[in-house]
Amino acid sequence: MKAAIIAGGFGKRLRPLTLEKPKPLVEVAGKPIIQWQIEWFKRYGVDTIVVLTGYLREKIIEFLGSGQKLGVNVVYVVEDEPLGTAGAIKNAEGVLSDSVFLAVNGDIITNIPLDKLVNDLIKSDALASIALVPLRSPYGIVEVDSEGNVKSFKEKPMIEEYLINAGVYAMKPQILQYLPRKGDLEKSVFPQLAKEGLLRGVIFKDVYWRAIDTVKDVEEVGKELSSKNIWCSK
């Protein structure tokens, strides 16, 4: 199976870390984000990684090479200008049009079980299944009783009743017909597929999932990954 890593963005919110390297090469707990992703994909039988790259692409190519050192085959598809998440995948149509494939945003570290996501898609008439995870509060939560007495503090809890797009997708090649040359999955493609009943959402609650958006995320996630084995359940 093939997996596409959407890795062409400038990573502006991670500056100065991304001034001389693209976001997928930012190190978290001693490994670049893209290496965490490839190791995750390999656990689910992915043997070909399609890197959708743009900004500082030569750095990614230098690090990954053919992919042999990480036990995969790496294919590069370059965008000469920012195309958005949908446009980046459309740009790789010639590589991804032969079978069901996976796609992930280039700033995600997770252990979501990909077999569950793929199986959900294959069993349905949908063109894509998206992984959904509970919203993590960016702030600590304070609980009070009816009289205003503080009862407890919870540091950045999961808010189970709200789900967010995890940036992890399984897709059938027919979805390529829906993708614009330039634009984002989240703003146009997914709403259209949902309207047509062609989009599935698969909920994952007991998984590790973090997006690396800021320097603070790098520090927080680095501590988390250094203290736990996120692969222990697989």
Q: Is residue 234 part of a domain?
A: no
Mean pLDDT of 79-88: 92
Q: Is residue 150 part of a domain?
A: no
Mean pLDDT of 175-189: 93
**What is the spatial distance between Cα 37 and Cα 1, in angstroms, rounded to a whole number?**
15
Tokens 């790789």, residue located: 92
Q: Is residue 13 part of a domain?
A: yes
At 232 the pLDDT is: 62
- For residue 234, pLDDT beyond 80: no
Q: Is residue 145 part of a domain?
A: no
CA angle (206 as vertex; 188, 119 as ends), nearest 5: 55
- For residue 233, pLDDT beyond 60: no
At 91 the pLDDT is: 94
At 154 the pLDDT is: 83
Q: Is residue 141 part of a domain?
A: no
pTM of the model: 0.89
- Give percent of the chain above pLDDT 70: 99
Q: Is residue 158 part of a domain?
A: no
Cis peptide before 16 (omega within 30 of 0): yes
- Tell me the HSE value of 65 on the side-chain side, using a 13 A CA sphere: 5
Residues 6 or more apart whose Cβ sits within 8 Å of residue 171: 89, 96, 100, 101, 102, 103, 121, 127, 128
Residues 6 or more apart whose Cβ sits within 8 Å of residue 22: 7, 9, 11, 53, 55, 56, 57, 59, 60, 106
At 196 the pLDDT is: 95
Residue of 156, 205, 223, 228 marked active site = 156
Q: Is residue 64 part of a domain?
A: yes
Mean pLDDT of 196-213: 93
Name residue 5's amino acid. I
**What is the spatial distance between Cα 115 and Cα 96, in angstroms, rounded to a whole number?**
18
**Is 156 an active-site residue?**
yes
- Read off the pLDDT of residues 3-43 as tens digits, 9 standing for 90 and up: 999 998 877 788 887 788 898 999 999 899 999 999 999 99
Q: Is residue 151 part of a domain?
A: no
**What is the spatial distance between Cα 203 and Cα 226, in angstroms, rounded to a whole number?**
26
- Read off the pLDDT of residues 48-57 as tens digits, 9 standing for 90 and up: 999 999 888 8
Mean pLDDT of 88-116: 94
Provide the domain limits for residue 15.
2-132+164-227
Domain count, the chain: 1
Ramachandran quadrant class, 65 (left: phi over 0; alpha: psi -120 to 50; beta: rest): left
Burial (Cβ within 10 Å: 0-12, 13-18, ≥19) of residue 228: exposed
Tell me the CATH number at 177: 3.90.550.10
Mean pLDDT of 165-190: 94
